[in-house]
Chains A and B, each alone.
Chain A
C-alpha cells in the first residue's frame, strides 16, 4: 500500500478486536480505529472516511447484517469485510448479498487469511475508485468536446453573415462621402467589429480538437440548396 489504509474494526469482543487491529498494523501498516457496538460504528463512520470496515456479525442490539443494510440505505459505499463465527457461512453469504466485499470466518486460519483478504479488498477498492475517476474524466472530456463543437459552429454561423454586413458596410463607406451617412455606417462597422471580437475570444476560450465540417457539407446544409443569409431572421 502506498499510504496507510484507515481501517475500522467493529467487534464487541474487545480482545479479538485489538488483536485484529494489531495484525493489520503489523502486516499492512494500517491505521486502525475501534468500535465495540453498531452505534459506535455509525458514529465513527459519520465522522471519518474509512478505507475499510472489518465488521463482526454478532454485535449486540444491531447485528452486522442490519448495519450493512443501514449503510446501503444511506448510500455509504465504504468497503465492508464481515467477520462471522464458525459454522455461520450462511450469514456470510447473506452479508455478500447485502454488499459486503468479502467475509472472514473466525477460525484457526483467520489470522493468516485476514491480511490477505483485507489487502485484496483494499486493492480492488482502489482500482474501483480509479475506474470511477477515469469515467468521470471521460465524461468531462466528452462534455468539453461537445462544447467545443457548439462554439466552433456558432462562430462560423455568426462570422459568415457578419462578413456580409461588414464587407458591404465597407463598400458603402468607400462610396458615400456624406458625413451624416458615414457616421451611421461607422457605427454599424464598429458594432460589427465588436461582435467579431467577441466571437474570436469565445472561439479561443475552448481549443477545438476537430473542425465539425462533415463529408457532404456542414451540418444544417446538407441539402445542397443555395444559402441566402440575407433572408435569415
Chain B
C-alpha cells in the first residue's frame, strides 16, 4: 500500500484492463479515475488535476498523440505514461517528443504498474 493517495487518471478503452487498473490502484491506496475515451478524459482534465495519467495510445476516434498534446495544453507538466500492446521501442521517439514520462508495455504485471506509479508519484 502506497503511503500517499494519488489521483490517477486511466484512459483505456478495453473494459477488462480498465477494471484491472481501477481495482489494483484502489488496492494500492490511490484514487483512480477511469474513463473509456479521450473525450471524457479531456473533459474531466479541465476540472481536475492528476498526479499521473495512464493512457492507452490506441483509442477510438482520437489519435493518442493528439490526446497527449491536448492534455499537456490543459495541464502543463502533467505526467503521462503510455500503456500499449504495440512494441514500446517503436514509440519511444515520438513519446519523448510529446513529453511522456514512461511506457508500460502490455502485458504487464502488478509489480510493473506499482513500479511505474511509485517512480512518478514520489
B37 touches A163 (CB 8 A): no
What are the residues of chain B within 8 A of A225 when measuring CB–CB? 60
For chain A, the count of residues having a C-beta within 8 Å of the partner chain is 40
B44 at the interface (CB under 8 A from A): no
What are the residues of chain A within 8 A of B62 when measuring CB–CB? 216-217
What are the residues of chain B within 8 A of A163 when measuring CB–CB? 17, 20, 85, 106-108
What are the residues of chain B within 8 A of A226 when measuring CB–CB? 13, 15, 36
Whole-angstrom distance between the alpha carbons of A39 and B113 in the complex? 78
Q: In the assembled complex, how far is the CB of residue A101 from the closest CB belonging to chain B, in whole angstroms?
A: 48
A224 touches B87 (CB 8 A): no
What are the residues of chain A within 8 A of B63 when measuring CB–CB? 213-217
Looking at the complex, which one of B20, B58, B105 makes contact with A217 (CB distance below 8 Å)? B58
* B1-24 interface with A by 8 A CB criterion: 13-17, 20, 23-24
* B53-106 interface with A by 8 A CB criterion: 57-64, 66, 84-87, 90-91, 105-106
Q: Mostly helix, strand, loop or mixed at chain A's interface? A: helix
A124 at the interface (CB under 8 A from B): no
Interface size on B, as a range, is 20 to 34
Whole-angstrom distance between the alpha carbons of A167 and B24 in the complex? 9
Looking at the complex, which one of A152, A166, A204 makes contact with B86 (CB distance below 8 Å)? A152
Whole-angstrom distance between the alpha carbons of A227 and B109 in the complex? 21
Q: In the assembled complex, how far is the CB of residue B82 from the closest CB belonging to chain A, in whole angstroms?
A: 11
B58 touches A166 (CB 8 A): no
* A135-170 interface with B by 8 A CB criterion: 152, 155-160, 162-168, 170
Whole-angstrom distance between the alpha carbons of A215 and B66 in the complex? 9
Interface centre among A165, A167, A229 (most CB of B within 10 A): A167
A213 touches B58 (CB 8 A): yes
A162 touches B107 (CB 8 A): yes
A229 touches B14 (CB 8 A): yes
B107 touches A192 (CB 8 A): yes
B110 at the interface (CB under 8 A from A): yes
Whole-angstrom distance between the alpha carbons of A227 and B105 in the complex? 19
Q: In the assembled complex, how far is the CB of residue B92 from the closest CB belonging to chain A, in whole angstroms?
A: 11
* Known contacts A217-B59, A221-B60, A170 near B87 by CB under 8 Å: no
Looking at the complex, which one of B16, B61, B85, B110 makes contact with A228 (CB distance below 8 Å)? B16
A208 at the interface (CB under 8 A from B): yes
* Known contacts A213-B57, A216-B61, A156 near B85 by CB under 8 Å: yes
What are the residues of chain B within 8 A of A215 when measuring CB–CB? 63, 66
B24 touches A171 (CB 8 A): yes
A171 touches B110 (CB 8 A): yes
Whole-angstrom distance between the alpha carbons of A203 and B86 in the complex? 9
What are the residues of chain A within 8 A of B57 when measuring CB–CB? 213
What are the residues of chain A within 8 A of B20 when measuring CB–CB? 163-164, 167-168, 171
A211 at the interface (CB under 8 A from B): yes
Besides A204-B87, A218-B58, A228-B15, 16 other A-B contacts (C-beta < 8 A): A155-B86, A155-B87, A163-B17, A164-B14, A164-B16, A166-B107, A171-B24, A171-B110, A200-B87, A215-B66, A217-B59, A217-B61, A222-B61, A224-B60, A226-B36, A227-B15
Shortest beta-carbon contacts, A-B, top 10: A159-B85, A156-B85, A163-B106, A224-B60, A163-B107, A217-B60, A162-B107, A218-B58, A164-B16, A159-B106
